[in-house]
Amino acid sequence: MKVTVIGTGYVGLVTGACLAEEGNHVFCLDIDSTKIALLNTGGIPIFEPGLEPIVKSNRAAGRLVFSTDAGAAVAHGEVVFIAVGTPPDEDGSADLRHVLAAARSIGRHMNDYRVIVDKSTVPVGTADKVREAIAGELAARGRKIEFSVASNPEFLKEGAAVADFMRPDRIVIGAEDERAIGILRHLYAPFQRNHERLIVMGVRSAELTKYAANAMLATRISFMNELANLAEVLDADIDDVRRGIGSDTRIGYHFLYPGAGYGGSCFPKDLKALQKTAADAGRPLRLLASVEDINDAQKHVLFGKIRARFGADLKGRCFALWGLAFKPNTDDMREAPSLALIGELLAAGATVRAYDPAAAGEAGRRLAGEARVTIVGSAPEALEGADALAIVTEWREFRSPDFESIRTRLRNPVIFDGRNLYEPAFVARHGIEYYPIGRRAGGEAAARA
């Protein structure tokens, strides 16, 4: 099938590459000529495991094309995905300028039936606006061309997006006409060969489903973070609690890990957009306001532990940070807890030596000009000259470190673990003070408590 994808950001590039991998001929359009030039020379503008090989192989096979030519893009695909950014506006709502600009471009160039699919995360009612924008352009041209507008929200996890697309647990299609549903069912047939994964519903229900999913996941994270802070006060172990409640099949184990707070481009933005939609509809979502407040506060918990151990004045102190991206297997630092921690450490007078397996380049851009932050090339290098170690992102390479090396490299053998990677008693046996989230402190930290 011939498919067009408008937007070569995270969602658009993964969608285009994975559809091409299944034999479709995909035309990816973007107005950013620099990005298109990079893609056409074999580069990848984002870090995502497994994406680069399928982009290169499908481009070499002629199934994946990158261009800035809007006319050629709309002429190419019977299905046209809109996968452009929807950044938050000043009032928290999703900014639909890029979505509607893409819709108008489709209307200006469309000459045959098309299924226009909203792949971007958009508020309820956006499909109606897309339909109106396309119809307006067709009317201006004096053309009457049939088209359908559908919603097909993405459920891709950064760091596992290719696997999520190729082996989805569900494919949500919001559409009102059978022709569009049939075309999209055919497009997604290769991704559901062993059992039916397609869930067909109304367009507005599909638009709400995406926001509801992210809101639910964010709620679970904030709930566990709130409970972890209580567990510390009550001298309980949040990991025991997690296993105790996760074993209930009505709850399950997913997204029950406390930590330093969530970040990224999705949860923070989508919760704000959903709350704005709800407020405009006269049905404010009070729970989600609390979820946000809890998360904002959780990003400061790790610094609170550092301040309690070393005092409020950190001048002359240096701290090693392991992890800068908001989660492992990505270089995305948007709303990352590491940024909050670095800001507080610098404000208290400290210096920082930080390492991340993928986000060094992004960190360099975000922290450019900050002389007291040094981005280093390895986890051991970050420890050199540091008073203590703070773990902010749960990369696999941090899970089984050389604790003896950590103890000898640090000026003070102290670990502040924002992701609960280790067993407190095990760390304590290596002579290291250990401060996790919602668990009993280990080593001398336990004696201090």
Query: What residues act catalytically?
Result: 266
Q: What is the DSSP string of 238-266?
A: HHHHHHHHHTSTTT-STT----S---SSS
- Phi, psi torsion values for 13, nearest 5 degrees: -70, -40
**Token pair for 158:** 């950064």
**Token pair for 387:** 């008073």
Element (H, E) at 352: strand 351-355
Q: What is the DSSP letter of 377?
A: S
Is the CB of residue 23 less than 8 Å from the CB of residue 30? no
Indicate the pairing of strand 433-435 with strand 414-417: parallel
Backbone CA torsion sign across 426, 427, 431, 433? negative
Quote the CA–CA distance of 27 and 64 in Å, as a whole number: 6
Quote the CA–CA distance of 324 and 303 in Å, as a whole number: 15
Is the CB of residue 341 less than 8 Å from the CB of residue 410? no
Q: In what order do the strands lie in the sheet with 79-82?
A: 64-67, 25-29, 2-6, 79-82, 114-118, 147-151, 171-174, 198-201
- Phi, psi torsion values for 405, nearest 5 degrees: -65, -40
Q: What is the DSSP letter of 285?
A: -
Is the CB of residue 326 less than 8 Å from the CB of residue 337? yes
* Sequence-separated contacts (24+) of 237-245 with Cβ below 8 Å: 237/438, 237/439, 237/440, 238/420, 238/437, 238/438, 238/439, 239/420, 239/438, 239/439
Helix (H, G, I), strand (E, B) or coil at 391: strand
Partners of 147 in beta bridges: 114
Angle between helices 337-347 and 301-310 (to 10 degrees): 30
User: CA nearest 201: which of 214, 217, 212, 215?
Assistant: 212
User: CA nearest 118: which of 7, 227, 220, 246?
Assistant: 7
